[in-house]
Structure 1
Amino acid sequence: MEDYKIYSQASANGMPDNICSFLCAQARHETGNYKHRFYTIGKNAFGYSYVKGAKWQLDKGGSNADNGVPIAQYASVENSVNEICDWIRRRQKEGKFTSNLANLTLQQYCKLLKDNGYYQAPLSEYTNATLAHFNKLPADLKKKHPVTSLICPHCGKLVK
């Protein structure tokens, strides 16, 4: 159910099918399959930190993350999706994300996230975890975007 909410909201935000699918996999990774307390309590699907006055966040922070920063809370998962879609668009306007999202692979998407400071984990770790979640998505949410390559944690190259 949550995957469909995320996919639909990303699509409503104008994201191409591949990004909608990638966001579902990313949310599964970030939330531990929607079981993490940051998601169950605050509908935070992407691990966002609380920012006072942020457009989509509730006006209160949630529990602190491991880094001591309060986690954002949302009225709905759709608002969490709106926030990440806005984040992607800002990076596009800054020239830090490609303007043609429809041609990105999952690996390229994860690299863009990393290059823009979205996560601190090693690229291969984040990509491989997100890939594992992508492969578990319902077939109708993967559309025409089969993704099967892992990234080698040692050399950073794609492994079939």
Structure 2
Amino acid sequence: MEVANVRNHASKRKFGDIVSPSLPSLAATSSNGFDDNNNINDIDLSLLEVVEKSQNFIKVLDLKALKKLVLAFEAHLKDNIEARLQYPNQPDRFTDSEIELHEELQKLKVFTGAPELYLDLVNLNAAPSIVDLLNHDNTDTAIDIVQLLQDLTNEDVLEDNDEPARVLVDS
């Protein structure tokens, strides 16, 4: 019986025996779990901090922000159309305007969380510009528009309209 107890006791390991030698010991970390170099378990968190700081702040999407986003969208759409007309056979000359238009379309997706502003979106005459992009020569842009329209007409969003939407918006 004593041999069995010794074996069971010997088979139990301490936490320090299990932890990989490449990982910092718990004694090296402060009470918040980070060591002196702002690392936890040898993972550098400085990149995460930079990403968090670069994120836009959260604010309520209102009519003023809507107008600002629609104007930016219309300006990038105009730039894209002009570049495509000026250089129809040189796609590398209008690639930047395509990328900027794509980014503006992504920003318009914030309206999916604010159905109370849909009427204002229509009143700003943005709907025809959005629908016209279904015929865009770049298939990716047309797909972006289809996704935007699907998001804007999502039943779940339209039913949950009790409070103002809080969304990420560039300022």
TM-score in terms of structure 2 length: 0.22
Bigger RCO of structures 1 and 2 (CA < 8 A, at least 6 apart): 2
Q: Which has the larger radius of gyration?
A: 2
Question: Which of the two has greater helix per residue?
Answer: 2
TM-score in terms of structure 1 length: 0.23
